[in-house]
Amino acid sequence: MGMSNRMTEELAAIAFILPQSISASVVYSDVIPINALQYGRRFMGILSVGAIGSSASVSGSWYWSATTGGSYVAITGTAITADTAGSDVHVVEVSTEQAIAFAAGVGFIKFGIASATAATYCSFVAIGGQLSQNPPNGLINTKVVEVVTGPVASVG
């Protein structure tokens, strides 16, 4: 029997910070409801940091809250080392179990990028894995406008 699953059937791009200049502030991704199993049990965030302005640094972390509009608190162990060089990519993974173990009542998570001092171009995408339900063509977030997949080759 051949393998024919596409990655977009198993993984989905679910939260974003679109490319933008961040200066002396924190910008947050879309909120991810972790109690909705169709979003998956594990989340991988990919943070892209462009050229860093003079004397600046960029940091990022996953945050949790009990409610979508509530106060968000950083999840211990998910912060990147402050980036002072720039032109880097950081991968930050978190699981729903990790978030729930950190604090009972966690219902929502999001990623935050902080840039200190000077403007720095950054972007972020969160990928949800181990989905319990396949979203149509991997499209969960409306910021994803197209998914292009080539033909699936049967292996075996």
Q: Is residue 3 scored above 90 in pLDDT? A: no
| Residue 138 belongs to some domain of the structure | no
pLDDT tens-digit map of 112-140: 999 988 889 999 999 886 555 555 444 45
How far apart, in Å, are the Cα atoms of 96 and each of 20, 110, 141, 145, 150? 28, 12, 19, 27, 32
| Residue 1 belongs to some domain of the structure | no
The per-residue pLDDT for 156 is 56
| Residue 18 belongs to some domain of the structure | yes
Q: What total of structural domains would you count in the chain?
A: 1
| Residue 146 belongs to some domain of the structure | no
| Residue 57 belongs to some domain of the structure | yes
Range of the domain at 60: 7-71+78-94+111-132
Instruction: Output 95-100 pairs: Cβ under 8 A, ≥24 positions apart.
Output: 95/41, 95/42, 95/43, 96/34, 96/41, 96/42, 97/41, 99/34, 99/62, 99/64, 99/75, 100/34
The per-residue pLDDT for 53 is 82
| Residue 53 belongs to some domain of the structure | yes
| Residue 122 belongs to some domain of the structure | yes
